[in-house]
Amino acid sequence: MSNRKGGQMHKHSILRRAAEVLEQANKSFLYAVIFPLLFRHRVNARTLETTDRLLIIRCDAIGDMILTTPLIRALKSNKKTLKICIAASDRNAQLIAADPDIEQIAILVKNGKLQLNAIQTLRKFNPQVIMNCVTNETTKYGVLARIIARNADSVALAHPQRSEYASLYTTLINVPDMYERWYDDIMLEFARQKFGIHAALNDYLPHISIEKKHMDEAVEFLAAQGLHDGIPALVNLSAGQPRKRWSEEKYLKLIALLKKSCMGIILSSSPEDEDKAESILLHAGNGVCRFRSTNIRGLAAIIARCAFVITPDTSVIHVASAMGTPVVAMYSESFSVIPQWLPRAVPFRAVMTKEYAVEAISPEEVFAGVCELRSVIDANN
């Protein structure tokens, strides 16, 4: 009986391996034969001077969009008349809704699905250069770029192990040390290598354009809570991935430590964490309030007026950086390329664990990071 079972397992193993080989063969045929026939390689012809309409594909997360704003600044600063269109997602489109450097926004991905009407909108924009900044779906958006504008120059980030999709692009951006750089610096390589733009890292920082109404709402909120600019700490309770989430118990312990230091505390969360936020607010006691906003620009306006932000590894880190607000951030080292996602151009403390989830970080460790950061801020003031 055991021999029969062992034989079946061996047979299944052979079949799985055969399926893998067949799949790889199909992919190789697609990349080596079909794509070059359908999409003939063109000369990388467009310069910045000869480009009037440029499309950036950035239809993924909020943090990725924030860290692409330096690229937008660099392009627009070097050619004022350049029209820039962003193919965004329903998650990150609101971040750039008030950006004066962007001519047009099309929501290309909604609820994880491509929107055909957006493809038509992008075809009408008729870009001459398309920059695919979604680095984990290079083939998909390479094909889509050719559908949007067949004769446009198309640009993507090169991956050392994925050279086969080169036939889809006229330019591949090579960043050999990408895992040691900030992500926005990697995005600036699109401007440097495609157009020869001298884009110094600190000349183009992450940026969020915010309307006056959001600024006024932030001022009114602080006044209603008896708080003043530069006084409260904002504690973010949400993160997209489960391994980046901290428990309610740990947040309450951290809040208790912060209250002993006489800090005003503002809680923020995504709508998905409504119950968690209300429970923490209920048990946290006096000196703690909650800011509710479904608009990321409204949250950015509040963050701009806080002394610092405490958050797990999520887009709020990059919102704070864009608004010039110091950050204490929690990271798990096991699945994150942390150098890419550290705060930029603001004082910060990164509290890290080598475990899979940030839940392994204690409130005392985060509070120690807060105290260190406050000492640095006070010394600089």
Task: Please tell me the predicted confidence (pLDDT) of residue 21.
Answer: 47
Task: Please tell me the predicted confidence (pLDDT) of residue 229.
Answer: 87
Q: Please, which residues bridge with residue 89 across strands? A: 109
d(CA 7, CA 301): 65
| Angle subtended by helix axes 296-303 and 212-224, to nearest 10 | 60
Rounded to an integer, the average pLDDT of 225-233 is 91
Q: In the predicted model, is pLDDT for residue 26 greater than 80?
A: no
Q: Please, which residues bridge with residue 289 across strands? A: 266
Rounded to an integer, the average pLDDT of 227-245 is 93
Retrieve residue 42's tokens. Answer: 């063109």
Give the start-to-end residue ranges of the domains of the chain. 53-203, 212-380
Task: Please tell me the predicted confidence (pLDDT) of residue 25.
Answer: 46
Rounded to an integer, the average pLDDT of 20-49 is 61
| pLDDT tens per residue, range 6-18 | 555 554 565 555 5
| Angle subtended by helix axes 296-303 and 315-322, to nearest 10 | 60
* Domain 53-203 bears CATH identifier 3.30.420.40: no
Rounded to an integer, the average pLDDT of 216-245 is 94
Task: Please tell me the predicted confidence (pLDDT) of residue 272.
Answer: 92
Residue with tokens 């943090």: 63
d(CA 279, CA 252): 10
For the segment(s) 212-380, the CATH number from 3.40.50.2000, 3.40.640.10, 3.40.50.150, 3.30.1330.200 is: 3.40.50.2000
Task: Please tell me the predicted confidence (pLDDT) of residue 42.
Answer: 58
Residue 337, classed as helix, strand or coil, is: coil
Q: In the predicted model, is pLDDT for residue 41 greater than 70?
A: no
d(CA 324, CA 168): 39
What is the Cα Rg of the chain in Å?
Answer: 24
Rounded to an integer, the average pLDDT of 202-223 is 96
Mean pLDDT of the chain: 89
| pLDDT tens per residue, range 249-271 | 999 999 999 998 877 999 999 99
Domains 53-203 and 212-380 share a fold: yes
Q: In the predicted model, is pLDDT for residue 40 greater than 90?
A: no
| pLDDT tens per residue, range 273-315 | 999 999 999 999 999 999 998 789 999 999 999 999 999 999 9
